[in-house]
Structure 1
Amino acid sequence: MNQREAATHGTATSPVTKRAFDALSLRGWLAHLSATGRVATIDKPVSLKHELAAIAKRLDGTQAAVFLSPGGHEIPVVSGFMSKRSWIAEAMGVAENDLLKRFRDAADNPLPWREVATGEAACQQVRHTRDIDLHALLPIPTHSEHDNGPYITAGLVIARNPRTGVQNVSINRIQVHARDRMAILLLPRHLHAFQKEAEAAGDALDVAVAIGVDPLTMLASQAISAIDSDELEIAGALHGVPLPVAKCVTHDVRVPAYSEIVIEGRILPNVREAEGPFGEFPKYYSAQEAREVIEVTAVTHRKNPIYHTIIPAEMEHLLLGAIPREATLLSHLQRSHPGVTDVHLSVGGVCRYHLWVKFAKKREGEAKNVILCAFGAHYDIKQVVVVDTDVDIHDPSEIEWAIATRFQADRDLVLISGAQGSPLDPSTTVGQPDDAPSHLQGISTKMGLDATRPVAYPGHVFTRVRIPGYDAVDLQGLVATDNAAFDTYLGHAG
């Protein structure tokens, strides 16, 4: 029994609600969105440089944008099909309140993928293995004003651990700066560890970039999991069936079989080329630096493929990172603090830096322990606000109200200076030289706010004002369809 066969024994998966669309493909989800009025089709020619991104940003969070004639290419571009939390819950087949639990269940119970036979994968219907020119083949946009050229922003980068052979999936920004070469940003995570191990042995690292996958596989790629945890197996658990995968045509990496487009290649050892600047999720530009390089060996795609691009720092980008992080943070906090009932990474905190925690406090001081636990859960977290269970943590005005009425800085503020934070947070670079070594980058001060009311208090000092029956009011049954009766009254009142 091989490693993957062994993994299937004893694997449990959570039940998945049957969805009224083909959930395994991007096309199935887009057809569902279109049928429900959530796709805007732009059939006029648009420029790949800035114009496409500008239009998609204007539609962000209301409709997915489909561009039928992008930059003279025949391949359409789609963006924004995961730009609302409710849409992601819908794709998952659960209520929005169950979103984090469902994702955590899938991450804890991965389902091994199923390999399709050679020649059966939709993503390999058309193959290009010679004289590859990415600019001619694919409609790759240039997004922000100072971006250093076109970027692939929605590609699932898939590689195998050189030591164990287990795959990792991530989304990395990739600058296409030549016909068949791309510079890639590798943060100090699993893909970076794979590349370092291969490079130490003098080897290239085989990679594939899958573009145009279904929403759940996109979401699974962002799971915070162990280094030898294949996120395609988490995708299978989210779907409730093994994810169909195909072996690449030029190496052994497996990719989602229903991908629209796959770029195959290898990260070259000891080769670095300029990448950036690029407008990142904090809504600032990252600097130009020497990055690792992918040499392209093949491009395969469906007949009549669809290219997916994520507009940086907009809702699709932010939510893709937020939901897997929230699920992991909630699980982490609940292990030590079962009174934690929900968490939310706020949009104002770019869905990475500001965490809001709903907590049923039983003893004074507990909220500060929750704050410290949250900081230890992920280095990106810069600010934590802990509130009581009567506060809606998905409503920024509720959080501000809790801080305004339940927080005192001299009593309820937690500050931790000199901690590791996000290297992409530009405020961490203040006072650092431009060529600061990596071990000095991202140094941050963490701030926690205990915005919970006291466990015990006299009278109704901290009792929230409520009007009985407010939630039960049936406005539709009470409000007249017109104001004729009131207008008549006004006419007699003079």
Structure 2
Amino acid sequence: MMSTTTLRRLVSGSCIETRFTPRIVEDAPCHEIVIEGDELDKPGKGLDSLPIPISTPGWDIAPFTTLSQYITKDPDSGVQNMGIYRGQVKAPRRLGMNPSLELRPGIYAHWEKMKARGKKLPAAVILGAPPCVAFTSAQKVPESLDELYVAGGLVGAPINVVKAKTVDLLVPAEAEIVVEGYIDTEYLEPEAPFGESHGHVNLQEYNAYMEVTCITR
């Protein structure tokens, strides 16, 4: 359950005003196992090694991550953004995604900027984040703020982060699983259908996808 102090910080908005700069660490629990390169192509070493379920049997086209935090970085300001989006497992090294473009999330702004540069967007997908990180990633905060700073304000202490192995991003050090890779900015692919939590089905549409370069846990 959420403590009274944490709830007070959330309701008052003080978690934004009293945000904490994340603490960068060298060694992290999320890097106890590192799988990258050709190792990801071996059976049971890529996304097929992760415990990702079919959420809505009969409707979901594939296993989907649901409480997955996507971290990307603004190529102009260097500020990271974190948001919750689903991820469709398409192949051991290919993860589809739905960034809810109608809501104009930060990840889409980053995608557009990298597309204009003709480059892919570095990304990290967090599975099993500390609760304060997962909770904060679903909130709407100014795009000039990194949600990891706000998560620190929520709990009253800096969030431990570590540099990702194959992309230039900082990820929660205590995450259970981190999937790193690059989101293509040239092509889109069919994604979904997917059974949503409210009982309706999100029909198939064209969305971006990520080419996985590393999985750590």
1:183 aligns with 2:96: yes
Give the TM-score, by structure 1 length. 0.41
Q: Secondary structure at the match of 2:110?
A: helix
Percent same amino acid among aligned pairs?
32
Match of 1:197 in 2: 113
Distance in 1 between residues matched to 2:116 and 2:67, nearest whole Å: 29
1:212 aligns with 2:128: yes
Distance in 2 between residues matched to 1:229 and 1:100, nearest whole Å: 16
In 1, are the aligned partners of 2:181 and 2:211 still within 8 Å (CA)? yes
- Taking a change above 3 Å as real, the CA distance of residues 127 and 169 of structure 1, as seen in their structure-2 partners, is same
- Taking a change above 3 Å as real, the CA distance of residues 202 and 221 of structure 1, as seen in their structure-2 partners, is same
Higher fraction of strand: 2
Q: Out of 30, 52, 59, which is 1:140 matched to? A: 52
Displacement after TM superposition at 1:100 (Å): 4.1
In 2, are the aligned partners of 1:150 and 1:175 still within 8 Å (CA)? yes
Distance in 1 between residues matched to 2:197 and 2:116, nearest whole Å: 31
Q: Secondary structure at the match of 1:294?
A: strand
In 2, are the aligned partners of 1:107 and 1:223 still within 8 Å (CA)? no
Displacement after TM superposition at 1:156 (Å): 1.1
Matches within 5 A, 1:408-423: none
- Taking a change above 3 Å as real, the CA distance of residues 141 and 291 of structure 1, as seen in their structure-2 partners, is same
Distance in 1 between residues matched to 2:84 and 2:202, nearest whole Å: 17
Displacement after TM superposition at 1:101 (Å): 2.3
Match of 1:320 in 2: none
Deviations 1:296-319 (A, max 9, x none): 000000xxxxxxxxxxxxxxxxxx
- Ranges in structure 1 where 5+ consecutive residues have no aligned partner: 1-86, 302-494
Displacement after TM superposition at 1:281 (Å): 3.8
Task: Report 1 or 2 for greater relative contact order, CA contacts < 8 Å, sequence distance ≥ 6.
Answer: 2
Give the TM-score, by structure 2 length. 0.90
Distance in 2 between residues matched to 1:165 and 1:100, nearest whole Å: 26
- Taking a change above 3 Å as real, the CA distance of residues 101 and 128 of structure 1, as seen in their structure-2 partners, is same
1:252 aligns with 2:158: no
Deviations 1:381-416 (A, max 9, x none): xxxxxxxxxxxxxxxxxxxxxxxxxxxxxxxxxxxx
Distance in 2 between residues matched to 1:244 and 1:223, nearest whole Å: 20
Aligned residues: 208
1:94 aligns with 2:5: yes
Superposition RMSD in Å: 1.6
2:34 maps to amino acid: R
Distance in 2 between residues matched to 1:95 and 1:268, nearest whole Å: 38
In 1, are the aligned partners of 2:120 and 2:182 still within 8 Å (CA)? yes
Displacement after TM superposition at 1:283 (Å): 2.1
1:282 aligns with 2:195: no
Displacement after TM superposition at 1:163 (Å): 0.9
Displacement after TM superposition at 1:108 (Å): 2.9
Q: Out of 150, 160, 178, which is 1:262 matched to? A: 178
2:50 maps to amino acid: L
1:150 maps to amino acid: P
Matches within 5 A, 1:271-350: 271-301=187-217
2:85 maps to amino acid: N
Deviations 1:49-88 (A, max 9, x none): xxxxxxxxxxxxxxxxxxxxxxxxxxxxxxxxxxxxxx2x
Of structures 1 and 2, the larger Rg is shown by: 1
1:224 aligns with 2:140: yes
Higher fraction of helix: 1
In 2, are the aligned partners of 1:110 and 1:236 still within 8 Å (CA)? yes
In 1, are the aligned partners of 2:128 and 2:177 still within 8 Å (CA)? yes
Distance in 2 between residues matched to 1:264 and 1:100, nearest whole Å: 30
Q: Secondary structure at the match of 1:269?
A: coil
Q: Secondary structure at the match of 1:270?
A: coil
